[in-house]
Structure 1
């Protein structure tokens, strides 16, 4: 028998440490070569770590939420015979390259004062106390009252002073079926780890570093929705279109006149890079939290290709199969809550990008429209607000408003979206 110390491997891309998300083995388990041991998360993606040997797990390092440095011990495996030389060397090489921790002298313990005696609570006045035991009721009636959140002291009893089920029914009828006290849910503590911790860190950094401002404009998308319905009715084997591929196409056509929107800001080097290609981030909700897969070169895709790519990336994000390169490198992000989009949103920028666009829910309202004879008439129209949040260090309010106005013109004359 031999003990093999499996060190945290180098997962590439300059990653120095990773967070443990979930263990798939425990001490005492027998594992085989290439078996999935643990999920770890870097700044860019969740990575599966597999076993390089067969054996029995003797020790594991850390719990979900702990951060392990590359080269640090991840787990110890007992193997039959000798550990393969190439496996031993690979794990040792990673450990040799890991930076040694700096010695830290432990501070002298501070004296802990003795706890002060806790005074006993003063008894409540007799008039304020409700003694349920004085209420006459059967155990079944008391249990039903507790389940309904009813204080028996509030229920009028029968002439003999005993509360019966019929008295509870009368009380519920009088109060409309609701008791004064709502049921209380117990407290629950949830450790913030994995994707939720990464989201928290990224959002806090974005709000801390970026001076946000948001501009919202109302767009009449009646004709756009009519065109979308026609395209879907004649799509054949093509994917069903949502409004998102059409909106992304309109954005890509508008951006060449507003290069400051499709940009990334390196605030440490004070460099703004205005990108020619549009690598469109697409916020996608998953069970693990919000992820932003990226549509590469969105300006080169037609609406059907965009619909395919949106569906593919959203599914990859939901199932945890999105690759690292599919979750980074965006130059502009679109975030949409679909039918939950609300009247207006103030989305948070996906740093280091400088803008994020949020289409909101489409609603129907009466509007004054030209009647074709020089006058106006009232007609039912489909309206959608488009929000844009910008980094005020890079994008001025005038530029953001001008960009959205240009985008509005395309969405209200949708034939121009598909014009070459």
Structure 2
């Protein structure tokens, strides 16, 4: 079972920024350990944020079931809620692995795998951007923006922002991380992927990284936190200025604003239940036409996590979603271990990036978010029955 958890984590590290197929493989691999550890888990020891995540999962299920009158996809969205449930049930296997079986060698393998696979995707994406053809995926790609290996620019950029905040944390806390991975190697990885992230010209993802980075100082160095925030604001402003038309896209801005208005309108229509998880996207064009909202030909998700949750699950789902994030942030703030110190700015990247992209509704981003959450719980209390029994 331990070998299966380790292999699942290896596949996860290999696929987080490179392949949806590999991420699907991770879910298949971790499913058995999740089931195996249910009777061995002391759920009373779970954190408040974990229970908030489970509550959100249940609300998502009910949102699909009770909204069948408008469910254009029927019960199909229920299959996607497994991402949230795995986020909850994978906590116990990860706790057991990292507390009992995660040798320095195994952690090294996982970290180097994550770094090499992500950097490979970035280099392949940059080459593709400059040639118009991705030689790894064997696909014609955009000449204007780096799309990594996936070809999905926004999804790739937001996952790259998650990756970069983790690497930055490992560099900052090198005294704790250097036994697992070489700091100079990390700096090289960070620089290459920073260039790759910039070339995606995804403003929300770059902004999320810039806003998240100062939070490494938030807990103990409030003055330096402010100074770093100002410095990164100036850096971001400079990047925006020199990027010119690559990031100045008023047409894209209007499309996004129209989706925000549409999602808010959907919430006002069905404030208690919403439209059902993943069902707002299917109704977005029709809602625009009914309310004469700009760009009725353009539909999709809300391009905002909070509006997406409100439009699909109503006020209760929205409150539980916010509670989950706040509780998660508070728990990480109170801890001093390496995982928590990196998880804190990771949450900020998730929140800020989710202001312009509904990452909570996009599988490839949700994989990263849920994996980050589950692993962050490793430092929380005694979660296994054998721990409570003193075994």
TM-score greater than 0.5 by the shorter chain? no
From the two aligned structures, give the one with the greater helix fraction: 2
Q: TM-score, normalised by structure 1?
A: 0.19
From the two aligned structures, give the one with the greater strand fraction: 1
Q: TM-score, normalised by structure 2?
A: 0.20
